[in-house]
């Protein structure tokens, strides 16, 4: 091998090494930028969500939770098999908590109004038993 061939091959090798060094440096900088973006992006959290209603659906696309607002205030409904089993409502004269069994049969109804509170329980035969602040006087 002649001296000129050796020198030309050495020049090509040096240019290739320099090219790879530049590519490796650029890739390292890009990796550092991506790591920096990922580290700061995870900390961004909204302080509040503002909406008139929020619906959360299950894996089948059916309503699982409904959270809404109207003129009387806010309402929350939790669903099971398309039937609401927990209802929390604001009403014109107070609030209401309604717990239902399977397929929507009322079981517990707790409400508050201007004359006081009322608790209604439904037994297994469907008969309602109620007690209120008025009946306890």
* Alpha-carbon torsion (128, 132, 136, 137), positive or negative: negative
Specify the pTM: 0.59
Q: Render pLDDT for 14-32 as a digit per residue (tens, 0 to 9).
A: 878 777 787 878 788 788 8
pLDDT band at 112 (very low <50, low <70, confident <90, very high): confident
N residues, the chain: 137
């Amino acid at each position: 091998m002649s001296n000129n061939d050796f020198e030309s091959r050495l020049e090509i090798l040096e240019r290739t090494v320099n090219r790879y060094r530049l590519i490796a440096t650029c890739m390292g900088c890009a990796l550092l930028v991506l790591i920096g973006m990922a580290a700061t992006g995870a900390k961004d959290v909204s302080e509040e969500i503002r909406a008139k209603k929020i619906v959360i659906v299950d894996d089948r696309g059916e309503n699982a939770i409904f959270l809404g607002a109207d003129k009387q205030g806010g309402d929350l409904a939790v669903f099971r098999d398309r039937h609401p089993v927990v209802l929390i409502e604001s009403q014109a004269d107070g609030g209401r908590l309604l717990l239902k069994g399977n397929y929507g049969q009322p079981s517990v109804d707790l409400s508050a109004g201007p004359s006081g509170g009322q608790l209604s329980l439904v037994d297994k035969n469907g008969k309602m038993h109620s007690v209120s602040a008025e009946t306890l006087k």
